[in-house]
C-alpha cells in the first residue's frame, strides 16, 4: 500500500484530535456527577454548585487550562429530545413593523393590504413585505405608498417621492434590521437566564429565530422573558468616588449582620466594625489587587479580611495602581468587579433588607452585559443615577432613529447614533449637564449596561459618536442595541416544543441501547460471514464511531435522538464499503490470485462503486442539512460526517490491518465454507422477466396512489399546525374514552394515539390553531387538563408539548416538498455526470420515484393499523430521503459493474441485455449482504430506539427493502429499455483509473 506511513500518521493525529475533543465531555460529566451527588436531588443546590464551579479550573492539560464554563462550551451537547428542555421558534411581527414605520395610519386600503399580506404569508412562501406591496398595488389605491413612510423619523431613509421599489427595499432593509436586533436582544436575555449550552440562530430567508434551551423547566418564565419588549434607556451615572463610601458602609453592615446570625463572639464584632468603618489605603491595597491580577477575589484576600469584609471579598472595588504602587479609586461610573460565579451572591447581599435600607433612592447598581476582554471571568458593576422620571431614565430608546458601527479619523471602531428632533432636544440638555459635571451616560437595555461613555461636550443635534476600547464586534453589538430601542415589531412564539426531563432520560436510554446493540449486531454478523476479514471490518467500525463522535464534539454539534439514529445507520452503511471490498476480494481469489494480489485488486476495483454510492448519500445529507431544522439538522450532520469517516476507516484502516497481517504471515480468510459461495454463479433472468416486475411495481404504485388520494395521511403537527402533547397516565387508558372526553372539552375533533406503552398517549388538537399568545396557550392547556382529568382514578402527567403555527407548518411543508424534488434532481445530475448518459439518470430517477411513492402509500395504508405513529412529519422526510439515497447507492453499484463489464475486450459484441443481467447477478451478493446488514441495524433501532423515532426507523426499514427491490429489478432493466436494447456507452471505454491507498 502506497503512503502507508503517511496514513498511519494521519490515523494517529485524527485519533488524538478526537480524543481531545471528547475529553471535555468526560470532564464536564464528572463535574455534573459530583454536583448531583452533592445536591442529593435538590435542584437548587445542584445549580448553585455548578454556578460556583463556573470559573474554577477543572481541566489541566499543562499548556492549556480550562474552567468548567470553558470546558462546557467544548463538550458534546445533548439536544432537547435527550436532555429535556424547550425549543422555541420566535417570529418577528412584520405586520406590526409595517404599520409602526408608517405611524399606524387609518387608511383602509393600507391596513387591508397589511392584513391580507399576513393571511397570505401563512399559505404562500413569500415575505410579508413583498405580499404587502403587491396587495397594495393591486388594491387600486391612489395614495402613493411612499407617502405613508416618509415620516420625520424615516426622513433620512425614505422620501415622499420614492418609488414602490424603493419602498419595498426600505421595508426589506428595516425588516432585516428588526430581525437582527431581535436576535441580539434574545441572545442577551438567554445569556442572562443562565441556560447551559443554549442554541439561538436566525432561520435564513425568514423572519424567524430558532431557540433551543436544554434543561429548562420553567416554561412560563421563558415565555415571559422571550416575548417581553426590548427596553432601551439612557441613565445619568454616579461616580466611583461618590459610591465607594456607601459600599464600605454596606460591607460593614453585612459583616455585622452575618456575624450576628452565626453567633460569633462580641470581640470579633467590634474588630469588624473598626475595620469596615475605617477608610484607609490598607483596605484598598488588600481588596483592589484582585481585580488587577484577574483572579478570584476570594482566593487573593486573606481569610481574616474575607471574614470581616463579606462584600469586598467577592466584589473588588474599581481601582488602579499609581506609579508609587499604591491603589487609588478609578474615575468613572464603574464601582467594582466580581467573578461571574459570585455575581448572584453580590445580588443577594445587595437585596438584603438591612442593605437596601441604606442605599439612596436615586442609586441603582447594574451589571455590565458581558465581561471585558482584559478580564474574561469578571463582570463590572455600574452606579446608575435615577432621575425624577417614572422609570428613572433621562431618555428612552424610541428617540434613536439610526445607529451604525463606524471608524473615527484614527481608524478606531466607534458607534454613530442619530436621534429624532424630540430626542435631539433632550440629548442636548442631558449631555450639557453631563459634560459640565464630567459624568458618563449609561446605555441600558433590559436592565444591563452595554456601555457607559463619558461625555466630553454638549451634543446639540442628536448626532453622537460613542468611542471607547471597542472591538469591531463590540461596535456592531452596541449599534444593534441602540436600534433595538425603537424596535417597531414584537417577537412572538409561533412554534414551541417542551420535552420533560423524564422523557429526555427515556430517550437517552433508548438511544444508547440501540447504538450499543446495533454495534454488537453488526460485529457479530461480519465475523460470522467474513471470518477473519470480519475482524478487520469491526475494528474499522469501532474507529468509525470514535471518529464520528470526536468530530461532532469538535464542531460543537448538538446530539439529538435522530442524530443517534444517524450514528446507528452509519454503522450499517459503514459495512457497505467493506462488503464491496470483500466481495471483490473473493472474486479475485476465485480467479486464482494470491491473497496479497486479491486484496490489492479488490480494493482497486471496489473503489469506484464505493465512492459513487457514498457520494450520492452525502448529497442527500446536504439537502437535508439545508432544508431541515431542529433534530433533522442533527441527523443530516451525523449522516454526512458518518459517510466521510466510513470512507476513511473502511478504505484505510482495514487496509492497514490487512497489510499488518500479511507482514506477519497471518492467515487471512474472507469467508467460511458455508458462506464462500453465497449467490455464486447466480443467473437470474432479470432482463427477460423485467416486464413482470414492471407490472408488479405499476400495480403496487396504483394501489399506493389510490390510498394517498382517498385515505390520505395523518400529518404531523409540524406540517399542519396545532398543538401536540405527550401524556402519561398512572394506569392504562382506553383511547376512545380519552378522545371522547377531549372532543367534548375542545368542542372539536381531537387526535389521540397510543405513544409507546398503553398508559401513554399523544394528543393533537387544532383548537386556537391561529392564536399563538400566552393566553391561548393557557386556555388550551387548561382545557386539555380538564378533558384528561375526566378519566377518574387515573392521574396524568404532561411529559412534553409542541406548538406549531400555521405559517410555520406551511413553510416546513414547502421545504419538505422542495427537499424531495432537489434530492432527485441532484442524484440524477450526479449520475449523468458520472456515467455520461441520460438513460442512467432516468433509470435511477424512475427507481427512486417508485420507492418514494411505495413508501408514502404504505404509510397511508398502514396508518391506524400498526400500533405506532405513522405521521408524515419532518422525521419522515428525513427517512424517505435516506431511503432514496440508499436506493441510488445500490443502483450505482450495478451501474458501475455495467460500465466495468462494457470496458472489457469484446463486451460490445455481446447482447446488451446479457451484459446488464450479468452485472446485476455478479453484484447480487453484495446487494443482499449490505441490505441485510442495514436491516439488522434498523430492526434494532425499531425495537430499542424508543417511541420518538419508531415511525422514523420503520420508514427507513421498509424503504431499504423496497429500495433493494427497485435497484435490482427496475433501475438497470429500465436503462436497457431506454436504450432500446442497444449499448449506450462509447465503443472505447477505459477502465476507471483508481489511486489505491
Percentage of the chain surpassing pLDDT 70? 89
> Residue written as cell 464520528?
548
| pLDDT for 719 | 78
Q: How far apart are CA 971 and CA 346, in angstroms?
A: 71
Choice between 280 and 794, residue whose per-residue pLDDT is larger = 794
Q: What is the mean predicted confidence (pLDDT) over 921-932?
A: 85
**Integer distance in angstroms from the first to the last C-alpha of the chain?**
6
State the Cα–Cα distance between residues 56 and 68, nearest whole angstrom.
6
Average pLDDT on 878-903 reads 83
Residue with more model confidence, 221 or 492: 492
Dist CA 651 CA 612 (whole Å): 14
Confidence of residue 692 (pLDDT cuts 50, 70, 90): very high
Sign of dihedral through CA atoms 606, 607, 609, 611? positive
- Mean pLDDT is highest, among 38-42, 203-207, 672-676, 729-733, for 729-733
Q: What is the mean pLDDT of residues 511-528?
A: 84
- Please give the DSSP secondary-structure letter assigned to residue 40: T
Mean pLDDT computed over 286-306: 49
pLDDT band at 810 (very low <50, low <70, confident <90, very high): confident
Judge whether residue 293 has pLDDT over 60.
no
Predicted confidence (pLDDT) per residue in 708-735, tens digit: 999 988 887 777 778 888 888 988 888 8
Across the strands, what pairs with 841?
A: none
Three-state secondary structure readout of 316-375: EECEEECCCCCEEECCCCEEEEEEHHHHHHHHHHHCCHHHHCCCCCCEEEEEECCCCCCC
In the predicted model, what is the mean pLDDT of residues 582-602? 88
Helices 806-835, 595-627: axis angle to 10 degrees equals 150
* Residue ranges with strand state E in 411-541: 413-419, 441-445, 448-451, 464-466, 491-499
Give mean pLDDT, residues 78-99: 82
CB proximity list for 109: less than 8 A, separation 6 or greater: 136, 139, 140, 141, 143
> Tell me, what's the pLDDT at 291?
42
Q: Which three cell numbers stand for residue 327?
A: 491603589
The average pLDDT across 282-310 equals 54
311, 349 contact by CB (below 8 A): yes
- pLDDT tens, position by position, 396-452: 887 888 888 888 888 888 888 888 888 888 899 999 988 887 889 998 887 888 888
Confidence at residue 238, expressed as pLDDT on a 0 to 100 scale:
93
Hey, what's the cell of 121?
A: 404569508
Between 191 and 127, the more confident residue is 127
Going by C-alpha positions, the residue among 929, 915, 930, 928 that lies closest to residue 981 is 915
pLDDT at 992 exceeding the cut of 50: no
Query: Which range has highest mean pLDDT (95-99, 319-323, 877-881)?
Result: 95-99
pLDDT of residue 305 exceeding 70, the answer is: no
Q: What is the pLDDT of residue 195?
A: 60
What does the pLDDT average to over 499-519?
A: 76
Q: Which residues of 35-53 are buried (b: 16+ CB within 10 A; e: fewer)?
A: bbeebeeeeeebbbbbbbb
Q: State the average pLDDT over residues 955-969.
A: 90
- Strands 57-60, 65-67: pairing is antiparallel
Among 552, 559, 526, 555, residue whose Cα is nearest residue 540: 526
| Distance from C-alpha of 916 to C-alpha of 897, rounded to nearest angstrom | 9
Residue 54's pLDDT is what? 74
Average of pLDDT values for 132-143?
89
pLDDT of residue 277: 36
392 Rama sector, left if φ>0, alpha if ψ -120 to 50, beta otherwise: left
DSSP state, 971?
I
Do you know the residue count of the chain?
997
Q: Specify the higher pLDDT residue, 819 or 271.
A: 819
User: How many other C-beta atoms are found inside a 10 Å radius of the C-beta of residue 123?
Assistant: 13
pLDDT band at 292 (very low <50, low <70, confident <90, very high): very low
Mean pLDDT of 177-200: 72
The DSSP code for 103 is T
DSSP state for residue 991 in the 8-state scheme: P
CA dist., res. 428 & res. 415, Å (int)? 18
* Cell reading at 770: 391561529
User: Any idea which of 661-670, 696-705, 900-909 has the lowest mean pLDDT?
Assistant: 900-909
HSE (CB half, 13 Å, CA atoms) of 773? 4
* 884 vs 701, higher pLDDT: 701
What digits encode the pLDDT tens for the residues 751-763?
A: 888 777 788 888 8
| Overall average pLDDT of the 875-885 stretch | 81
Percent of the chain residues past pLDDT 90, beyond the cut: 13
- Asked whether the predicted pLDDT for residue 948 surpasses 90, the reply is no
- Residue 13: its pLDDT value, please? 92
In 3D, which of 377, 380, 376, 422 has the Cα closest to residue 401? Answer: 422
Average pLDDT over residues 521-539: 89
Averaged over 192-210, what is the pLDDT? 72
Residue 939 has pLDDT above 70, yes or no: yes
Tell me whether strands 315-317 and 334-339 are parallel, antiparallel or unpaired: antiparallel
| pLDDT tens track for 5-43 | 788 888 899 999 999 999 999 999 899 889 888 888 777
User: How far apart are alpha carbons 6 and 551 in whole angstroms?
Assistant: 20
Q: Provide the 3-class DSSP secondary structure of residue 71.
A: helix
In the sheet where 751-755 sits, what is the strand order? 199-203, 208-214, 85-92, 491-499, 796-804, 722-729, 757-765, 751-755
The answer to whether residue 264 scores a pLDDT higher than 70 is no
Q: What is the band of 550 on the pLDDT scale with cuts at 50, 70, 90? A: very high
At residue 191, the pLDDT reads 67
Give pLDDT, residue 866.
Answer: 85
Convert the pLDDT of each residue in 841-851 to its tens digit: 899 888 989 99
Q: Residue 706 has what pLDDT?
A: 95
**pLDDT tens-digit readout, 772-783:** 677 788 888 888
Instruction: Give the pLDDT band (50/70/90) at residue 983.
Output: low
Amino acid at each position: 500500500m502506497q503512503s502507508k506511513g503517511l496514513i498511519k500518521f494521519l490515523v494517529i493525529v485524527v485519533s488524538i484530535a478526537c480524543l481531545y475533543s471528547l475529553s471535555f465531555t468526560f470532564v464536564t460529566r464528572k463535574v455534573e456527577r459530583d454536583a448531583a451527588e452533592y445536591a442529593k436531588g435538590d435542584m437548587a443546590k445542584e445549580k448553585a454548585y455548578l454556578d460556583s464551579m463556573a470559573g474554577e479550573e477543572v481541566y489541566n492539560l499543562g499548556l492549556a487550562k480550562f474552567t468548567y464554563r470553558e470546558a462546557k462550551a467544548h463538550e458534546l451537547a445533548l439536544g432537547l429530545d435527550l436532555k429535556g428542555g424547550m425549543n422555541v421558534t420566535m417570529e418577528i411581527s412584520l405586520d406590526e413593523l409595517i404599520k409602526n414605520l408608517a405611524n399606524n395610519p387609518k387608511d383602509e386600503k393600507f391596513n387591508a393590504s397589511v392584513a391580507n399580506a399576513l393571511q397570505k404569508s401563512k399559505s404562500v412562501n413569500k415575505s410579508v413585505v413583498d405580499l404587502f406591496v403587491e396587495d397594495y398595488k393591486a388594491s387600486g389605491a391612489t395614495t402613493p405608498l411612499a407617502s405613508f413612510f416618509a415620516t420625520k423619523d424615516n426622513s433620512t431613509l425614505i422620501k415622499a417621492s420614492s418609488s414602490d421599489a424603493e419602498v419595498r427595499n426600505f421595508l426589506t432593509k428595516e425588516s432585516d434590521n428588526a430581525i437582527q436586533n431581535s436576535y441580539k436582544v434574545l441572545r442577551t436575555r438567554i445569556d442572562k437566564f443562565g441556560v447551559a449550552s443554549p442554541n439561538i440562530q436566525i432561520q435564513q430567508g425568514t423572519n424567524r429565530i430558532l431557540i433551543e434551551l436544554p434543561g429548562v423547566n420553567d416554561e412560563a418564565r421563558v415565555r415571559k422573558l422571550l416575548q417581553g419588549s426590548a427596553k432601551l434607556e439612557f441613565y445619568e451615572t454616579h461616580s466611583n468616588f461618590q459610591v465607594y463610601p456607601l459600599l464600605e458602609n454596606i460591607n460593614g453592615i453585612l459583616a455585622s449582620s452575618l456575624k450576628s446570625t452565626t453567633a460569633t463572639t462580641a470581640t470579633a464584632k467590634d474588630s469588624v466594625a473598626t475595620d469596615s468603618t475605617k477608610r484607609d489605603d490598607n483596605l484598598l491595597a488588600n481588596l483592589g489587587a484582585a481585580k488587577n491580577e484577574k483572579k478570584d477575589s476570594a482566593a487573593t484576600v486573606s481569610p481574616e479580611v474575607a471574614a470581616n469584609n463579606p462584600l469586598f471579598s467577592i466584589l473588588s472595588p474599581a481601582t488602579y495602581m499609581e506609579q508609587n504602587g499604591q491603589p487609588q479609586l478609578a474615575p468613572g461610573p464603574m464601582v467594582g468587579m466580581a467573578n461571574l460565579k459570585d455575581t448572584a451572591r453580590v445580588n443577594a447581599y445587595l437585596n438584603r433588607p438591612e442593605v437596601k435600607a441604606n442605599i439612596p433612592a436615586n442609586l441603582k447598581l447594574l451589571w455590565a452585559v458581558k465581561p471585558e476582554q482584559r478580564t474574561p471571568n469578571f463582570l463590572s458593576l455600574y452606579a446608575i443615577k435615577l432621575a425624577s422620571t417614572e422609570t428613572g431614565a433621562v431618555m428612552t430608546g424610541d428617540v434613536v432613529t439610526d445607529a451604525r458601527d463606524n471608524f473615527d479619523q484614527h481608524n478606531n471602531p466607534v458607534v454613530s447614533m442619530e436621534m429624532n428632533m424630540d430626542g435631539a432636544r433632550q440629548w442636548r440638555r442631558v449631555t450639557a449637564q453631563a459634560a459640565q459635571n464630567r459624568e458618563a451616560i449609561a446605555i441600558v437595555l433590559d436592565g444591563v449596561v452595554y456601555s457607559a461613555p463619558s461625555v466630553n461636550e454638549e451634543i446639540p443635534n442628536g448626532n453622537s459618536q460613542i468611542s471607547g476600547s471597542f472591538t469591531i464586534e463590540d461596535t456592531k453589538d452596541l449599534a444593534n442595541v441602540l436600534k433595538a430601542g425603537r424596535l417597531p415589531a414584537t417577537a412572538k412564539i409561533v412554534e414551541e416544543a417542551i420535552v420533560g426531563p423524564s422523557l429526555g432520560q427515556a430517550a437517552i436510554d433508548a438511544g444508547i441501547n440501540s447504538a450499543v446493540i446495533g454495534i454488537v449486531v453488526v460485529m457479530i454478523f461480519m465475523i460470522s460471514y467474513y471470518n477473519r476479514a470480519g475482524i478487520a471490518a469491526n475494528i474499522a467500525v469501532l474507529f468509525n464511531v470514535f471518529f464520528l463522535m470526536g468530530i461532532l464534539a469538535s464542531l460543537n454539534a448538538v446530539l439529538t435522538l435522530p442524530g443517534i439514529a444517524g450514528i446507528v445507520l452509519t454503522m450499517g452503511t459503514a459495512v457497505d464499503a467493506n462488503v464491496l471490498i470483500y466481495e471483490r476480494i473473493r472474486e479475485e481469489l476465485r480467479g486464482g490470485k494470491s491473497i496479497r494480489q486479491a486484496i490489492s485488486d479488490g480494493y482497486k476495483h471496489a473503489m469506484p462503486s464505493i465512492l459513487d454510492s457514498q457520494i450520492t448519500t452525502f448529497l442527500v445529507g446536504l439537502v437535508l442539512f439545508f432544508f431541515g431544522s431542529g433534530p433533522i439538522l442533527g441527523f443530516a450532520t451525523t449522516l454526512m460526517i458518518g459517510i466521510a469517516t466510513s470512507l476513511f476507516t473502511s478504505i484505510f484502516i482495514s487496509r492497514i490491518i490487512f497489510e499488518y497481517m500479511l507482514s506477519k504471515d497471518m492467515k487471512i480468510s474472507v469467508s467460511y465454507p458455508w458462506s464462500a459461495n453465497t449467490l455464486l454463479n447466480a443467473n437470474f433472468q432479470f432482463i427477460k422477466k423485467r416486464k413482470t416486475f414492471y407490472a408488479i411495481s405499476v400495480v403496487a404504485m396504483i394501489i399506493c396512489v389510490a390510498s394517498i388520494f382517498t385515505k390520505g395521511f395523518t400529518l404531523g403537527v409540524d406540517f399542519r399546525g396545532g398543538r401536540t402533547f405527550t401524556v402519561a397516565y398512572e394506569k392504562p387508558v382506553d383511547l376512545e374514552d380519552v378522545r371522547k372526553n377531549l372532543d367534548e372539552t375542545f368542542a372539536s375533533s381531537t387526535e389521540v394515539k397510543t405513544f409507546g406503552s398503553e398508559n401513554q398517549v399523544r394528543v393533537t388538537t387544532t383548537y386556537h390553531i391561529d392564536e399563538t399568545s400566552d393566553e391561548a396557550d393557557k386556555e388550551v392547556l387548561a382545557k386539555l387538563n380538564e378533558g384528561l382529568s375526566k378519566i377518574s382514578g387515573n392521574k396524568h402527567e404532561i411529559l412534553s408539548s409542541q406548538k406549531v403555527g400555521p405559517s410555520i407548518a406551511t413553510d416546513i411543508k414547502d421545504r419538505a416538498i422542495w427537499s424531495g424534488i432537489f434530492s432527485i434532481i441532484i442524484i440524477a445530475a450526479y449520475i449523468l455526470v458520472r456515467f455520461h448518459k441520460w438513460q442512467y439518470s432516468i433509470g435511477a430517477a424512475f427507481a427512486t420515484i417508485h420507492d418514494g411513492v411505495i413508501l408514502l402509500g404504505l404509510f397511508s395504508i398502514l396508518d391506524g393499523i400498526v400500533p405506532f405513529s405513522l405521521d408524515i412529519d419532518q422525521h419522515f422526510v428525513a427517512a424517505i430521503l435516506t431511503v432514496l439515497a440508499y436506493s441510488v447507492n445500490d443502483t450505482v453499484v450495478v451501474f458501475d459493474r455495467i460500465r466495468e463489464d462494457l470496458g472489457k475486450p469484446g463486451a460490445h459484441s455481446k447482447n446488451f441485455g446479457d451484459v446488464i443481467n450479468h452485472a446485476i447477478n455478479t453484484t447480487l451478493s453484495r446487494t443482499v449482504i449490505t441490505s441485510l446488514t442495514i436491516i439488522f441495524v434498523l430492526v434494532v433501532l425499531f425495537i430499542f430506539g424508543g417511541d420518538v423515532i419508531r415511525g422514523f426507523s420503520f420508514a427507513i426499514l421498509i424503504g431499504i427493502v423496497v429500495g433493494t427491490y427497485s435497484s435490482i429489478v427496475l433501475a438497470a432493466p429500465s436503462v436497457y429499455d431506454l436504450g432500446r436494447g442497444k449499448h449506450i456507452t462509447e465503443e472505447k471505454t477505459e477502465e476507471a483509473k483508481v489511486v489505491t491507498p
